[in-house]
Amino acid sequence: MNVTQDPAAATDWGPFGRPIFDDPKARALSRVGVVDVGSNSVRLVVFDGAARSPAYFYNEKIMCALGAGLSESGRLNPEGRERALSALRRFQHLAQGMGLPPLSAVATAAVRDAEDGPEFCDEVLRETGLKIHVIDGREEARLSAQGVLLGWPGAYGLVCDIGGSSMELAEIQENSVGRRVTSSLGPLKLRDVKGGRKGRKEHIKQVIEQLKAEMGPQRDRLFLVGGSWRAIARIDMHRRGYPLKVLHEYRMSAKDVRETARYIEAADLNKLRGACGVSASRMALVPYAVDVLSRLVKTFKPKDIAVSSYGIREGLLYEQMPQRLRARDPLVEASRFAEMKDARVPGFGKTMYDFVSPLFANARHSKRRLVKAACLLHDVSWRAHPDYRAEVCFDNATRANLGGLKHSERVFLGLALLHRYSNKRQGSSFEHLYGLLDEKGQQEAEVLGKAMRFGAMLMVTGNGDIGALRWQPRKRILHVDLPDAARPLYGEVAESRLKSLAKTLEAEIDLRFVKPTPAPEAG
């Protein structure tokens, strides 16, 4: 992950910069509502929290199928139009009740293609006061790609966003959106293609070959955005028996796509949708979407495939961010916001990070950002019952809406926070997830957790001096220098936690209490 930093901020706060969620520009984005009027669904999302990595304060979707039958009639589905109008009345009323600034609303393929699309927008404005901005396919592709960049700063590859009536492609590199194209390969339109499945697959092949000619070679990562892709990912998880049911950053290979396509073709779709938690209306579109995905992967041959829960709605939020905010690490910013909101001693996370960092002196940036996030989050679950606190921490870390985290990194973060409250991880209800992280990663997470467990015994103020660790891995010596003023804090529980850390490191302890250096006498 390539995240640029403000040099002046980095001087005082390390590679992650000074916290900025109190900046007025960040506060202005603290609660923002967006509406996405799609061909298949109409959705309201209200983002709240740290502006760089917002939480979903409110999220409601109504399946309207506005684009159903559009290819034949040229008009919006009448029933879907009524349902969409009703949903938009509700969304506008909710937004007013929440005291939100004006909603940002966009409409995509169905409304822009339908001859009565302008009439529908006028009706919505008249009935609700909500102005809908109808965007073209290239703009839809750009916003979806920006949504991916919100979750993956510095990401590069090809973003593919599938809706009900269209499919868009956009390339991303160096934190910007490059070439982008749109097509009619949405499942609602594919249902109307003549010639049965054979005719449909030939049509898909021709269109994707045209898209490849326009986009050029795209052999990097393929990011999948859209409800139909997420439904296919759920089915892939079910087929593989994958343990972590988090769609964002779920990875598939070309082989997985081929095997899941065959699995869907042979399955009873009613039974499959129940097993995978996919709605009936969404499952009806999956056979069309999986044919598109199969051809897309076969044609572009991406190195790997990642599912993104972030798309056009998150792209609208990203659009409003100043560049200084966009450049920040979403994981670290979300963790800072959680510490500010929920920790007993806000600000101690930085002190903790400085304290444990010597144990990870040679770690790459990708590991250090996880260490930073863990230190910021180490105390935010203190309200949980002590008997369940360790598992609550693991569950929160692995399932929370956090951007920029691979599934293995979620498990690392979860294990580190689990060991913040527990010496042992065996026997927890989440043990089946540990295998997503290799043995070395599990060991490092335990070291981090136990170091935080010891450091927390020295927590008095947010920015006080709690001492320093120095680790000599070859000699297996852990040097611990504590301020002499902290001597009363080093009781039997603190001593026990330090010994537990040393045991995990297979180290000897060199403990010293350091008196402050006297100030020089005035000459």
pLDDT tens for 50-104 read: 567 777 899 999 999 999 999 899 999 999 999 999 999 999 999 999 998 899 9
Residue percentage of the chain with pLDDT more than 90:
79
- Strand 304-308, strand 41-48: pairing: unpaired
pLDDT for 10 = 43
Q: Assign 421 a pLDDT band (cuts: 50, 70, 90).
A: very high
**Segment 19-26 mean pLDDT:** 58
C-beta atoms surrounding 439 within 10 Å: 9
pLDDT for 31 = 81
Residue type, 101: P
Q: Assign 8 a pLDDT band (cuts: 50, 70, 90).
A: very low
Query: Quick one: 138-310 is in which CATH superfamily?
Result: Exopolyphosphatase. Domain 2 (3.30.420.150)
**Segment 226-252 mean pLDDT:** 96
Residue 248, token pair as written in the block? 């964002």
Q: Assign 206 a pLDDT band (cuts: 50, 70, 90).
A: very high
Residue 174: left (phi > 0), alpha (psi -120 to 50), or beta?
A: left
d(C-alpha 466, C-alpha 148), whole Å? 39
pLDDT for 22 = 57
Examine domains 138-310 and 328-514 and report if their fold is the same.
Answer: no
pLDDT for 123 = 97
Residue 255 has pLDDT above 90, yes or no: yes
Query: Quick one: 21-134 is in which CATH superfamily?
Result: ATPase, nucleotide binding domain (3.30.420.40)
d(C-alpha 418, C-alpha 412), whole Å? 10
Query: Quick one: 328-514 is in which CATH superfamily?
Result: Hypothetical protein af1432 (1.10.3210.10)
Per-domain boundaries in the chain: 21-134, 138-310, 328-514
Residues in the chain: 523
Q: Assign 154 a pLDDT band (cuts: 50, 70, 90).
A: confident
Higher pLDDT, 49 or 328: 328
pLDDT for 5 = 41
Whose CA is closest to 18, among 27, 9, 5? Answer: 9
pLDDT for 27 = 58
